[in-house]
Amino acid sequence: MLPEEAFAWMDSQVPPNARVLELGSGEGTRRLCEMFPSGVTSVEHNPTYLYTTPATYLFAPIRDDWYHADALAPQLPPEYDFLLIDGPPGALRPNVVDHLRLFRQDVPILYDDTERSADRAAVEALGRLLHRAVEHFAAPSRGAHKTFSVIP
């Protein structure tokens, strides 16, 4: 689940009427739905996590080390105000860089787990590709080295 510091950042920086696109649902999705009643759309590869919250779910199985792009692309909402990258799990997440074309590039992005070197490199690459600064935040509520990053 996202660290408390990430929820606090969103609470202070993302308008409550924002529409959120979340990559990777889980325990925090319910909280996102409470924070952003205008809508949370959650991309999920694991059927266990589908339809467990009021979010709109998009099922996209893993294929070729990331969400199946051909399954995902036609489901994505055309309009959203904020992108949250917290999936797919582990070593697959940095591959979002190869699929940037699927997403709006003019919205703020929060990328979780950037204490991991591959994820830190991926968010830095996203920042370069988007010509935007990347901000890194400590999240001690989830451990001494936990971080998340934001591309405002």
Residue 1 has pLDDT above 90, yes or no: no
* H or E element that contains 1: none
Q: What is the pLDDT of residues 21-37, one digit of tens each?
A: 999 998 899 999 999 99
Distance in angstroms between the alpha carbons of the first and the last residue of the chain: 21
pTM: 0.97
Residue 42 has pLDDT above 90, yes or no: yes
- Compute the distance between CA of residue 88 and CA of residue 27 in angstroms, rounded to an integer: 14
Amino acid at 97: V
Q: Where are the domains of the chain?
A: 4-151
Q: What is the pLDDT of residues 56-82, one digit of tens each?
A: 999 999 999 999 999 999 999 999 999
Q: What is the pLDDT of residues 72-120, one digit of tens each?
A: 999 999 999 999 999 999 899 999 999 999 999 999 999 999 999 999 9
Fold observed for domain 4-151: Rossmann fold (3.40.50)
- Compute the distance between CA of residue 13 and CA of residue 9 in angstroms, rounded to an integer: 6
Span 44-62, mean pLDDT? Answer: 96
